[in-house]
Structure 1
Amino acid sequence: MIQDAWRISADEARAQMKANLLGRKVAVRNARVPQRFGQVAEGMWQGYHAAIADEEPEALVARLNAIESELFGFALEGVGMGLAELDALKPKKQNRVQAFLEGARTAYQTMVYLGVGLMLVRRELPIEPYLTQLNPIRSWPIIDGYGFNHGIYRWREYIDGQAIPKQLVGYACRVFDQGLGRSIWLLDGTDVTRISVTVGGFSSIRQADIWGGVGYACSSICGAERATIEALGTAAGSYLSELAKGAACAAKFRKLLGNPAGYTEFVHEVLCEMAGDTKTKVRDIPNNEAEPNQQVWQHYREVLLT
């Protein structure tokens, strides 16, 4: 029964993406794009339905261990979405998300909190309570996931219209843009020309963070050939370093989650080489000791420096 449920949800996600591409008049020239998105959707919805079926941490971990390793990070996002949904709609004394994450490594926490942000958009719930109750390291991933799903489900307003939720101020707006950038990789079907035009339509002060998000999604999801990755690096222009940093973050997370993927390392290496720093290591992404808005991907610094 749970298998039927996640397959149905994954099919619905595929239909949503197809509708997005049609609505944006994006011609998919690479069959790997919808195929890859379908795989990612399956991983996420397996995690979601596992959480809905049995919220007890031990049972949930057992279900997660049965999911294909390469999709583990996406499954954790689904877990975050499912547990947060239960917490919001059927609250109980102990917060389910917190109970699941007790003692978990930072990388696990980040993925789960990304899923919390996805849930808020899906269920049209306010983000403010999650910003006031959590410390910044936890709230940044929530905002990132919030930005991603705003792009996927509300692209007319937030991609074409370039809106920013009025609830977000300061550095939170930059984190939102990083999540928005992740959605653009999928919304524009990995079409480099389309992506460049879409990102270029935003104000210059927003483009660095959006390119960072594109780099993260390109590396974590991929679905493209080397020529596309190289063209993307060229299209990023002066924002190539931000694109490469995003790809480096994805590579680091896969390493910390214990599910490395060859394509993620490949994208990371190609973009770092193009950025002119063949020795770049993900641990070298700077820790931010100045103002929070001085560094791209600052909200991941604990993981990157682990």
Structure 2
Amino acid sequence: MMIQDAWQSSLNKATLPTDLIATWAERDVQESDAGIQKRLEQVGRSLMKGYHTAVTDELEAIAPKLNEIDEELRGFAYEGVGMGLAQRDFLTPTSQNRIATFVAGDGAAYANMVYVGLGLMLARVGRPIEPHLQRLDNAKGWLLVDGYGYYQGMFYWRDSLNHQVISQPISGYTRSVFDQGLGRSIWFVDGGDVNRIARTIDAFSLDRREDLWGGVGYACAYAGGAKRTTIEALGNTAGAYRLHLAQGTAYAAKSRQCLGNQSVYTELACQVLWGVSADAVADNLATNGETPESRLWQHYRARIPHPVRATLAA
């Protein structure tokens, strides 16, 4: 019991949002745009609202409480739910997995975010991801890996970003998805600072940069906070990786379209990087009759039609 209590205390302390202002100062980020700072604070509060709700309330009470959160921010709260339910499953396992039960019921619409949250908690407690990947189908597994990569970049950026350490023995497409999540974290820990983002990614080997830029594009469009001028500068600075940056925004647009909660930030990013609306970008993603769950993350780059890619690359 003493070991469990100590672990519970450690989890409660460590899952609080990282101090982004302190992180920006240490990473030599120029003073962050006030809009980005405010937006990222909103994201963090929403995530923690979901986390605390999941660790304190019964499953049937979670969704009604999260309905109080602005719809545009609600997806982040469900990532927090995934963290909280995973923590409860680790500490006090029952015959019925809480995450699986929740996404089969009230959390079905936000199942993708919940599985990202599972990845966040796995990274927090340092558990291997391979056993979970073996139990989940590919779509859920990729979401888990993305969350794992995001957490590594957010909370262990000295290792993951400064020294490019991958904490898990992963390779192939799994590593690509990890890097997409890591790229998402770069938007946060570099505060939307275009030049700092580019320096961070340029320090990585060439074979990892495409996925990192894709992750930045997703976070820029989904989490948002940036003005048009910042997104324009980001597209120009991405250079040869502009397409991958834009492809990340396409996934963000599809994610929001599936949930019916498009954001002004997603719309702006798509207008700047694609020249069309977020819904138009999302509509151009080939679905091949697949379910919303299975079409997300896995091979999303291949789902941008060639004519659209050619237009962007021109």
Fold agreement, TM-score > 0.5: yes
Q: Structure 1 residue 167: deviation in Å?
A: 2.4
What is the letter of the counterpart of residue 182 of structure 1?
Answer: R
Q: Give the direction of change, closer, same or farther, for the CA distance of 1:142–1:11 in structure 2 (3 Å limit).
A: closer
How does 1:9-20 map onto structure 2 within 5 Å?
A: 12-13=16-17, 16-20=19-23
What is the letter of the counterpart of residue 160 of structure 1?
Answer: N
State the partner residue of 1:177: 179
Separation (CA, whole Å) in 2 of partners of 1:197 and 1:168: 25
State the partner residue of 2:284: 284
Q: Residues 139 and 297 of structure 2 are in contact (CA less than 8 Å); yes or no, is this contact kept in structure 1?
A: no
Q: Aligned match of 2:54 in 51, 60, 72? A: 51
State the partner residue of 1:291: none
State the partner residue of 1:60: 62
State the partner residue of 2:298: 298
State the partner residue of 2:85: 83
Q: Structure 1 residue 12: deviation in Å?
A: 4.6
Q: Structure 1 residue 281: deviation in Å?
A: 2.4
RMSD value, Cα: 2.8
Separation (CA, whole Å) in 2 of partners of 1:44 and 1:104: 18
Q: Residues 245 and 285 of structure 1 are in contact (CA less than 8 Å); yes or no, is this contact kept in structure 2?
A: no
Separation (CA, whole Å) in 2 of partners of 1:267 and 1:108: 23
What does the per-residue CA deviation read over 1:100-149, in whole Å, with 9 as the maximum and x for residues that have no partner? 01157876221111111111122232222211211111110000000001
SS at match of 1:224: coil
- Structure 1 unaligned regions, length at least 5: 1-7, 289-295
Q: Residues 226 and 265 of structure 2 are in contact (CA less than 8 Å); yes or no, is this contact kept in structure 1?
A: no
* TM-score normalized with structure 2 length: 0.83
SS at match of 2:28: coil
Q: Structure 1 residue 10: deviation in Å?
A: 12
Q: Residues 117 and 147 of structure 2 are in contact (CA less than 8 Å); yes or no, is this contact kept in structure 1?
A: yes
Separation (CA, whole Å) in 1 of partners of 2:33 and 2:213: 22
Q: Give aligned-pair identity as a percent.
A: 47
What does the per-residue CA deviation read over 1:155-207, in whole Å, with 9 as the maximum and x for residues that have no partner? 11111111223421221000000000000111111111111111111111111
Q: Are positions 1:71 and 2:73 aligned together?
A: yes
Separation (CA, whole Å) in 2 of partners of 1:185 and 1:78: 19
Q: Residues 72 and 259 of structure 1 are in contact (CA less than 8 Å); yes or no, is this contact kept in structure 2?
A: no
SS at match of 1:76: helix
- The runs of at least 4 aligned residues of structure 1 exceeding 6 Å deviation read 8-11
State the partner residue of 1:39: 42
SS at match of 1:168: coil
* TM-score normalized with structure 1 length: 0.85
Q: Give the direction of change, closer, same or farther, for the CA distance of 1:244–1:18 in structure 2 (3 Å limit).
A: same
Separation (CA, whole Å) in 2 of partners of 1:10 and 1:168: 25
Q: Aligned match of 1:159 in 140, 158, 161? A: 161
Q: Residues 270 and 281 of structure 2 are in contact (CA less than 8 Å); yes or no, is this contact kept in structure 1?
A: no
Which stretch of the first structure deviates more once superposed, 80-89 or 23-32?
23-32
Q: How many residues are treated as equivalent by the alignment?
A: 286
How does 1:81-230 map onto structure 2 within 5 Å?
A: 81-102=83-104, 108-230=110-232
Separation (CA, whole Å) in 2 of partners of 1:141 and 1:265: 23
Q: Give the direction of change, closer, same or farther, for the CA distance of 1:232–1:10 in structure 2 (3 Å limit).
A: farther
Which stretch of the first structure deviates more once superposed, 89-98 or 130-139?
130-139
SS at match of 1:145: helix
SS at match of 1:281: helix
Q: Give the direction of change, closer, same or farther, for the CA distance of 1:11–1:80 in structure 2 (3 Å limit).
A: closer
Which stretch of the first structure deviates more once superposed, 125-134 or 90-99?
125-134
